[in-house]
Amino acid sequence: MTRINPEIIKKDFPIFNQDIHGRKLVYLDNGATTQKPLQVIEAMAGYNKIAHGNPHRGAHKLSVEATKAYNSSKETVRKFINAKSTEEIIFTRNTTESLNLIAYSYGREFINEGDEILLAISEHHSNILPWQRLAKERKAILKYMYLNAEGRIPLDEIKNKISEKTKLVSVGHMSNVLGTIHPVEEIIHHAHRVGAVVVVDGAQSAPHMKVDVQEMDADFFVFSGHKMLGPMGIGVLYGKKEILEKMSPFLLGGDMIEYVYEQEATFAPLPYRLEAGTQNVEGAVGIKAAMEYLEKIGLDKIEEHEKELTQYALDRMLSLPYIDIIGPKDLEMRGGLISFTIDGIHPHDIATILDSYGVAIRAGHHCTQPLMRFLDLHATSRISFYLYNTKDDVDQFIEGVKNVRKWFGYGS
Amino acid sequence: MDLNSIYSQLIMEHNRSGHNKKHLPNPDITEKGHNPSCGDDITLELKLNGDTIEDAAFTGVGCAISQASTSMMIDLIKGNTIEEALKLVEIFLGMIKKEVTNEEELEKLEDAIVLQNISNMPARVKCAVLAWHTLKEALSDV
């Protein structure tokens, strides 16, 4: 397999043409959002210049063009995750909306008193709060799978927590704090044996590795466009057709109906039934271009590249005695993001000082307060890679970290 | 952005010294301050004598800026009346918003004047103002 050359890839991304505080930009906050290549920026501009209309509405040329663009994006998304049909692809605003939609439209209908909803303690708030509300409303029980010292969900924990009472399991494919890739196939296998449905939050995984929803056998799989080179404001909800068909609409309004009378209405077939109102066609065009860009380079190559960078960064970080890695210290079942702490220095100070060296990283609780409490931490710093990052970026980051130490009066 | 002026010697000293970071034996007022977007979390304790703040201390976690800002504030308000302390809070918050620029006014803030330039770093403003909002909250109930 030929490797990708991030230096050449970087040339497609106009954001890297600027200096940040007088220095070359080292962007290591890809877990939060990713940058856009010209191919995505131009596809969206092109749509706005020549093809913008309201889809599925008028009979005029531009409405037809917008409809074509929207539908063609759905087909690209379908192929990207290997769903059976485009009826199984619902566009949302983001992962958060996708999860809320499932909790509302599936959860309220099929979760009853005493039923158990199971999450991992590492979930992002967006994969906790909708289930908390649902559990309260339906008098259901919210349970958590806890992690071992390596940040992984042990097989025993999966077996012990999934019972006949379990009706829904929602789990992050890859932790946005630890970088751990959770064993979703095992979880799905055990959940299906007791008839529970499984939601996989792919916000951190789908951009970085090949996902095949049929092979995985997930009942729902959700992710966001802006973490995979696409624009903000477009997200995906994949659901198995037989499950989506049983769900009542989330939002009601235009474009999702069949007949509307004064006192009642019937709804359009999938996927439109779950997409009320004028949709984000520009975003759909953007996510399509992003997926095409990623596929042209190859997700297997991107994954390999990130592994190489992660190994390189882990080696360099582990050689500095004042850095603690939060999460697995090897490449086994982990993705390209690394959380860490530095002795005596708060993560926010680390991020602020690194920023002055042009290095963009994330600091804080990463929208995972229950995980932070479980790990007995208040906050961590996090670096996260993508296809355009280089070993030189890692070196700049390490130099920056040594400077942070100096600012705080420590020797390097 | 001038990192030097933010991470000045003074901030580092306050951040590290911890001379105000402790529990008071019998505080009259205990007020929690929390910054949900970043997780900074402090508890302010005040000992009153009539309407005078006789003693003050804090516990909690946060970055160098929020910890130093809290410590500087405590040094400043100890021995002040509630009214004087609230006035200082207004001057500090006004300085951060660049609404108070009068040198004479600003000098009343003593050490805390070094946080004047934090407004050039919007991402860190919340860290600097946490303790001051917490104090305002604490005293508003008295």
pLDDT digits (tens, 9 = 90+) for A208-239: 999 999 999 999 999 999 999 999 999 999 99
CA pair distance A147, A180, nearest whole angstrom: 10
Q: Is B6 on the interface with A (CB under 8 A)?
A: yes
φ, ψ at A392 (rounded to 5°): -60, -35
Give me the residues of chain A with pLDDT under 50, please: none
**H-helix or E-strand containing B85?**
helix B82-96
**For A82-127, where are the alpha helices, taking DSSP H only?**
95-101, 108-110
- Flag whether pLDDT at B5 surpasses 80: no
Best of A352, A361, A371, A372 to mutate (most B CBs within 10 Å, chain B): A352
- Residue listed under structure tokens 């992984």: A152
Residues B72-81: what's their mean pLDDT? 96
pTM score, whole prediction: 0.94
| Tokens representing residue B78 in the block | 């100890």
For chain A, helix, strand, coil in percent to 5 are: 40, 20, 40
Q: Which one from A367, A374, A403, A408 is the annotated catalytic residue?
A: A367
Determine the residue of chain B that is closest to A21 in CA distance: B1
Q: Which residues of A touch B63 (CB under 8 A)?
A: 346-349, 352
Question: Do the bridges between strand A235-239 and strand A265-267 make them parallel or antiparallel, or are there none, so unpaired?
Answer: unpaired
Q: To which H or E segment does residue A184 belong?
A: helix A184-193
Are A216 and A188 spatial neighbours (Cβ–Cβ below 8 Å)? yes
- Res B68: pLDDT: 93
Whole-angstrom CA distances from B87 to B96, B103, B136 are 14, 16, 10
* Rounded CA separation A59/A63 (Å): 7
The DSSP result for A121-182, as a single string, is: TT--GGGTHHHHHHHHHHT-EEEEEPP-TTS---HHHHHHH--TTEEEEEEESB-TTT-BBP
pLDDT score for B112: 92
* pLDDT (0 to 100) of residue B141: 75
Please name every residue paired with A116 in a beta bridge, in sequence order, or none if there are none.
A141, A166
Residue A96 CA to residue B62 CA, distance in Å, equals: 28
A367 is catalytic: yes
**What are the tokens at B95?**
């300085």
Q: How far is A408 from A145, CA to CA, in rounded Å? A: 38
Q: Find where tokens 């789908």 sit.
A: A206
Q: What is the largest CA-CA distance in chain A?
A: 75
For residue B29, what are the β-bridge partners? Answer: B46
User: Nearest-CA distance from A364 to chain B in Å?
Assistant: 5
The span from the CA of B127 to the CA of A235, in Å, is: 32
The top-level CATH class assigned to B3-140 is alpha beta
Residues in chain B: 142
The answer to whether B120 contacts chain A (CB < 8 Å) is no
Nearest-by-Cβ selection for B38 from A345, A364, A409: A364
Residue of A125, A339, A349, A405 to mutate when probing chain B, most B C-beta within 10 A? A349
Q: What is the pLDDT of residue A104?
A: 97
Please determine, looking at this structure, whether the domain spanning A6-30+298-407 carries the CATH number 3.10.580.10. no
Domain locations in chain A as residue ranges? 6-30+298-407, 41-295
Q: Within 10 Å of residue A316's Cβ, how many Cβ atoms?
A: 16
CATH architecture of A41-295: 3-Layer(aba) Sandwich (3.40)
Give the chain B residue whose CA is nearest to the CA of A379: B39
- Once rounded to an integer, what is the mean pLDDT over residues B46-68? 94
Kindly state the tokens that stand for B130.
Answer: 């946490």
Contact A345 B61 (CB under 8 A): no
> How many other C-beta atoms are found inside a 10 Å radius of the C-beta of residue A404?
25
8 Å CB contact of A352 and B37: no
Residue A411's CB is within 10 A of a number of other CB atoms, namely 6
Q: Which residues contact A289 (CB under 8 A, 6 or more apart)?
A: A39, A40, A42, A43, A44, A230
Q: Quote the pLDDT of residue A291.
A: 98
- Identify the helix (H) or strand (E) that includes residue B58: strand B52-61
b/e per residue, A33-70, with b = 16+ CB within 10 A? Answer: bbbbbebbbebbeebeeebbbbbbeeeeeebbbbbebb
Looking at chain B from residue 29 to 88, which residues have their Cβ under 8 Å from any Cβ of chain A? Answer: 37-41, 61-65, 67
CA Rg value for chain B: 14
Q: What is the ipTM of this complex?
A: 0.87
User: Domain residue spans in chain B?
Assistant: 3-140
| A33/A285 Cα distance (integer angstroms) | 18
The amino acid at A398: I
Q: Give per-residue pLDDT as tens, A313-354.
A: 999 999 999 999 999 999 999 999 999 999 989 999 999 999
β-pairing, A166-172 with A116-120?
parallel
A4 DSSP assignment: P
pLDDT of residue A1: 66
Q: How many CB atoms lie within 10 A of CB A292?
A: 16
Per-residue model confidence (pLDDT) at position A412: 55
Please state, in angstroms and rounded to a whole number, the distance separating the CA atoms of residues A400 and A404. Answer: 6
Give the span between the Cα atoms of A314 and A308, in whole angstroms: 10
Q: Is the peptide bond before A6 cis (omega within 30 degrees of 0)?
A: no
**For B8-20, what is each residue's pLDDT tens digit?**
877 888 888 889 9
The token duo for B54 is 């006789």
Q: Tell me the nearest-neighbour CA distance from B64 into chain A, angstroms.
A: 7
Q: How far is the C-alpha of B97 from the C-alpha of A3, rounded, in Å?
A: 51
Give the start-end residues of each E strand in A269-369: 323-326, 337-342, 359-360, 362-364
Nearest to B3 among A356, A364, A369 (CB): A356
Q: Cα-flanking dihedrals φ and ψ of residue A174, to 5°? A: -130, 130
B30, pLDDT greater than 80: yes
Residue-level length of chain A: 412
Mean of pLDDT values over B40-68? 94
Nearest to residue A223, comparing CAs of A177, A176, A270? Answer: A176
Contacting residues of A for B37, CB less than 8 Å apart? 364
Question: Which residues lie below 8 Å from residue A400, measured CB to CB, with a gap of 6+?
Answer: A26, A353, A354, A357, A359
Residues of B in contact with A409 (CB under 8 A): 12
